[in-house]
Structure 1
Amino acid sequence: MTRHRLRRAIDVATAALAEAGIDSARTDAELLAAHLTGSERGRLATMDPPAADFFRRYDEAVAARSRRIPLQHLTGTAAFGPLELHVGPGVFIPRPETEALLEWAAAQHLTGYPVIVDLCTGSGALAVALADRWPNARVIAVDDDAAALAYARRNSEGTAVEVMQADVTVPGLLAELAGTVDLVVSNPPYIPAGAELEPEVAEHDPTHALFGGPDGMAVIGPIAALAGGWLKPGGLVVIEHDDTTSRQTVETIDRTGRFTAITAHRDLAGRPRFVTARRTEESA
């Protein structure tokens, strides 16, 4: 009987979330149920009856999600590639779109003991995933926000990731890295000011992690300059951008005069998403 009650509760939650304008209503209803029962989503239909207070807690969670509080804030985690990351208020929730950038980076041929720098690391998603991909790498994760870095440190526990608080728009940052880095990755603030966003993003993601100035390019230029100075000849950079600024990102990287093979890429949905480039073999 309780198992049927759980199924009915999920059906009711799905309807409530759909009414609130959430496209992934069924998925979110099931994920909330799985989180509160400590189970997996695929086992909900066959699991033992939940604890006595489950339905009260489930109703509260569904009500919160209906107010467009992000699902990840309610569960405390976000999936990213092979990882399950700790997230919450104060840190940017990693997006599935960025997994296309991760897939590209992870497919590169880095040998020996590579040096990788993740700029605007946020939760540490890219840094931790790349440290897992290359266990012998030195991975440096940089962000200027203390709240985000608290999550990055938590997510990187037990890894070799070095978490650092610094402003990536400062020229000459980490000058000691000049000519030593194999790969620079970044998912920076890149949304143009004034863009309309879903409530989950506009009201809950940190503004500082979202907007990149009037055209979304305020942070991308400094990152391209830093990468040009840090990368060894043949080293690689990959920068995510707004789907309206692919051309500007290519031009910004090109203007440094330090890169070749500058290439625009699309994400899994076919939208312009990131640009890659290779450091020239000659010193600029």
Structure 2
Amino acid sequence: MATSLAQAIAGARRELAAAGVASPDADAALLAAHALGLSRGETEAKAILGAPEPAGYRELVARRVRREPLQHITGRAPFRQLDLAVGPGVFVPRPETELLVQLALDHARQWREHGEVHPAVVDLGSGSGAIALAVATEDPACRVTAVEREPEALRWTRQNLAGSRVRLLECDYRDVTVEGSGRFCVVVTNPPYVPVGEVPGDPEVRDYDPPTALYGGDESGMLFPAAAMDTALRLLRPGGSFVMEHAESQVETVADALSRRGFVDVQCHRDLTDRPRATTAFLPGERD
């Protein structure tokens, strides 16, 4: 007797839970939707109506049991209003990072309230292009630049930014050309910040996210975040803002590093899980 879609999803839930997957119910349903080429709601409706198990579903579940990221299997990652292409070689954007987009949008809006019609925003180390594209999509008045250097990540950056208004600079964010100096209203970044030697426990992160997008360059994890701060000093207009994600353990270190560089109004922000996730700071001076 053929296995029904509902039976297949129920079995997948059990397998994924036994493998330690954090969200077995959602993943089982989303993999079924991917196999069918339907939305999750449409898939659930077909399961209720007694549809059969789709071809290839068990292979998809087996990949997830091996802890391959769901986003690598489906090739897609939701992020705010976006559906991004992702895969090997690029950091999978996290829901927690959506906070950075909101902070950047809020600061860009403040610039418009001061008369800046098209606030310039730059995303350092853009990876999939998630932050840059989200800002450009949700606030079309912003002039957004994305900076990315890693060849494997750039494959995905280019794909996601194709057809958008986001300008892509293919270089190290420490080497952004002088044309950008002193012209940006907002600098936003989610740099690598995991301390070297602190290997993430989740296989999806440890074994699949590119090390260049994870590790912060030294035992404190602050080498690349500090470089982003230095770049922001050069790129920001007077009164411009810096928005950066970091680890919970780095809140005080980040605040001290920003203050030492002359940034003011340094403030930590919590994400939807109430964890310290990002810090904002401003370059001194009047907005002109």
Q: TM-score range by the shorter chain?
A: over 0.9
1:235 is aligned to: 240
Q: TM-score, normalised by structure 2?
A: 0.91
Cα-to-partner distance string for 1:227-275 (whole Å, 9 max, x where unaligned): 1121111111101111110111111111112x21111111111111111
Equivalence map 1:124-163=2 (5 Å)? 124-163=129-168
**Secondary structure at 1:97's aligned position in 2?**
helix
Deviation of 1:210 after TM superposition, in Å, equals 0.3
Equivalents in 1 of 2:89, 2:17: separation in Å?
26
**Deviation sequence 1:64-119 (CA, Å, 0-9, x none):** 00000000000000011111100000100001110122122222313211111100
Aligned-residue Cα RMSD (Å) equals 2.0
Tell me which amino acid in the other structure corresponds to 1:156.
L
- What's the TM-score, normalizing by structure 1? 0.92
Counterpart of 2:253 in structure 1: which amino acid? Q
Tell me, in whole angstroms, the C-alpha distance in 2 between the residues paired with 1:51 and 1:141: 44
Choose 13-22 or 150-159, whichever is displaced more: 150-159
Which residues of 2 match residues 1-284 of structure 1 at below 5 A? 5-47=4-46, 55-108=54-107, 109=109, 110-111=111-112, 112-170=117-175, 173-197=176-200, 198-212=202-216, 213-257=218-262, 259-281=263-285
**Which is further off, 161-170 or 127-136?**
161-170
Aligned to 1:265, the other structure's residue is in SS state strand
Q: CA shift at 1:169, angstroms?
A: 3.5
Q: Which runs of 5+ in 1 are unaligned?
A: none
Mean CA deviation greater in 129-138 or 119-128: 129-138
CA distance in 1 between counterparts of 2:155 and 2:45 reads: 38
How far did 1:282 drift? 6.6
Q: Which has the higher helix share?
A: 2
Q: What percentage of residue pairs aligned between the two structures are identical?
A: 42
Distance 1:169 1:228 in 2: 11
